[in-house]
Amino acid sequence: MTSPGSAVDSLSAAIKCNIIPNQEYLLQGSVLDQYVEVLLHRLRGLCDNVDSGPESFNDHELCFTLRGNTPNSSMVLPLRVRRALDVPDAPWQLRYVGQHELGDKNRPTAVRSSIDMACSSTIVEFLTELGCRVDFEYIARGYMFRKGRMKITVSKIFKMGSMASKPNESVEPISQSYLVELSVLAPSGQDAIAEDMRIFAEQLKPLVQLEKIDYKRLAHIQ
């Protein structure tokens, strides 16, 4: 048996081999509340986990940012923490989500860099002490489907109510629609998956219009 290499060595080796899934391919859309059943029905037909039925989730997501005291725009690190409210024993999830890249018109999906990992429940205290501030938080409830490597979530977004201590109560939905997201986490350069996603999104039309959404433009709309 050889002696174990240091973890940093193996990580850099993994980066070199490009096996770390650090790119998220993403399409987003929404469906009105009264049609969500139709969509779920269709997804059940299209996706892999047919027999077990859709997986439901009830997650609380906290969005942190790490920034310096000086108003320097380049020094901002967004971090997201997600925990399952319905499965208290499950590990929490920590996630870094980078800038949204739309690419040119030929590119079927938006791409953003993403580092996704499970973590222990001390994460919120850890991040707070690290210097992160909670930017906003919300609750997402809905269903998750799988189709090959693709993940489809249909979720209702709730605003945290006045009683922050009881995340399960007093929440209000922020719109009359369900958010629909189609995403794949893959190592960089695997653009073929984007094509698969486009074809899948095509199959959900006209119920849901899944498209890449320009965040920069969104910031100005209102």
Partner 1 sequence: MIDVLVTLGNTMQQARDEKQLESALDAIIQRVNDLKTSISSMIYKIENEYETLSWPTFLDNFALISGQLTSLSKLLSHDKCPTLRNLTVLPLLLSPERDDQLAQLTEGRVTTFAHDLVPDYLRTKLEPSAESKMLNLEHKAATLAYENAQKQVAAYQKVVSHVWDIVNKAREEWEVESSARGSTQQNSSVADTHLLVAAVGMGKGLKMVNNPNNQTNQGNSMIVGSQGPGRPSGPPGQSNLPPSTQPMTMNKAPSAIKTNIKSATQIHPYGR
Partner 2 sequence: MGVTVVQNFPITENRTGPSTIELLTKRISALGAIQQGHFLVDCETYTSVPQLGNPRTVHILHNSEQPATVFSILETENKTIPLATDGLFDLLMIKMANFYTSKKQTKAESKGPRYEIGDFLVKLGTVTVSQNFKGVLVEVEYRPCVVPAMCWELMREFLQGFLGSTAQSAPPLYLQNRMQDIYSPIDTIHQYLEQFTIYRKAPGLRT
The binder of 52, among partner 1, partner 2, none, by C-beta within 5 to 8 A per type, is none
Q: Is 70 in the site for partner 1 (CB under 8 A)?
A: yes
Q: Is 67 in the site for partner 1 (CB under 8 A)?
A: yes
Where does this chain touch partner 2 (CB under 8 A) — which range of 69-77, 144-152, 158-166, 196-204? 69-77
Among 167, 185, 187, 190, binds partner 1 (CB under 8 A): 167
Cis omega before residue 88 (within 30°)? no
The binder of 84, among partner 1, partner 2, none, by C-beta within 5 to 8 A per type, is none
Write the binding mask 13 to 52 for partner 2: x where contact by CB under 8 A, - elsewhere.
--x----x-x------------------------------
Binders of partner 2 in range 71-100 (CB under 8 A): 72, 74-75, 77, 94, 96
Distance in angstroms (rounded) separating the CA atoms of residues 98 and 115: 9
Q: Which two tokens stand for residue 23?
A: 């790119």
Residues 6+ apart with CB under 8 A from 98: 112, 113, 114
Among 11, 133, 146, 188, binds partner 1 (CB under 8 A): 133
Q: Which two tokens stand for residue 132?
A: 């992160």
**Strand ranges inside 120-212, DSSP E:** 132-147, 150-159, 172-173, 177-186
CA angle 140, 142, 148 (to 5 degrees): 110
8 Å CB contact between 56 and 155:
no
- Report the nearest approach of partner 1 to the CB of residue 181 (Å): 8
211: DSSP letter: B
Q: Is 122 in the site for partner 2 (CB under 8 A)?
A: yes
Tokens 């060595």 locate to: 9
Q: Is 185 in the site for partner 2 (CB under 8 A)?
A: no
Dihedral sign (CA 131, 84, 196, 13)? positive
Residues binding partner 1 (CB under 8 A): 28-32, 35, 38, 62-65, 67, 69-73, 76, 78, 83, 88-89, 100, 120-122, 124-125, 128, 133-138, 140, 157, 159-162, 164-167, 174-177, 179, 205-209, 213, 215-216, 218-219, 221-222
